C-alpha cells in the first residue's frame, strides 16, 4: 500500500516540507491538533512529523497512538532548533521496557 507523509507544526518550521512532497498542517492549537491527528490516523498516513515544541505540549494525544503500527509519529526540530525532546521520548520508552536507563551514551 502507498501511504503519505504529513507534517504538523508552526508555519515557519514546516513550510519547506511542502516543496518536497510532504503534506503540511499548520496549527498550534490543541483541539485542532487532535482532529488533525485523528484524521491522519484514519487515512492511514505512514509518517507524521510533529515539531518538538508541539509534540511535547500534546504528548498525551500522541501517546494514544503508540501501539498502532502506523502512523509513526516522530518529533522533529522546529524553528528554535532541537530541544532534545525527541531523544528524551525514546529514552523514556527504553527505560520503561528495560527497567534501567541505558539510552544515555
Partner 1 sequence: MILKVNATRMELLQMKKKLIIAKKGHKLLKDKEDELMRQLLEMIKSIRELRKEVENEISSVVGRYQFAKASMNKETEDEIFLIPTKKINISVREKNLMSVRVPEFTKEVEGKIRSYGYAFTSGELDASLLALDKIMEKVVSLAEKEKTIQLLADEIEKTRRRVNALEYIMIPNIEDTIKYISQRLAEMERSNTTRLMKVKDIVRAH
Q: Interface residues with partner 1 (CB under 8 A)?
A: 1-5, 12-13, 15-22, 46-47, 49, 66-67, 69-70, 72, 74, 76-79, 81-82, 86-87, 90, 93-94, 96-99, 102-103, 105
Q: How far is CA 48 from CA 7, 40, 57, 97, 99, in A?
A: 6, 8, 16, 24, 28
CB of 46 to partner 1, least distance (A): 4
CA distance 59 to 74: 11
Query: For residues 5 and 54, which CB has a smaller minimum distance to partner 1 in the complex?
Result: 5
Amino acid at each position: 500500500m502507498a501511504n503519505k507523509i504529513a507534517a504538523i507544526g508552526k508555519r515557519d518550521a514546516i513550510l519547506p516540507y511542502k516543496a518536497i512532497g510532504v503534506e503540511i498542517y499548520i496549527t498550534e492549537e490543541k483541539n485542532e491538533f487532535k482532529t488533525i491527528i485523528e484524521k491522519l490516523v484514519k487515512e492511514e498516513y505512514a509518517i507524521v512529523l510533529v515539531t518538538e515544541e508541539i509534540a511535547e505540549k500534546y504528548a498525551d494525544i500522541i501517546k494514544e497512538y503508540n501501539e498502532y503500527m502506523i502512523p509513526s509519529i516522530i518529533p522533529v526540530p522546529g524553528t528554535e532548533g532541537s530541544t532534545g525532546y525527541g531523544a528524551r521520548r525514546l529514552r523514556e520508552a527504553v527505560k520503561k521496557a528495560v527497567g534501567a536507563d541505558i539510552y544515555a551514551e
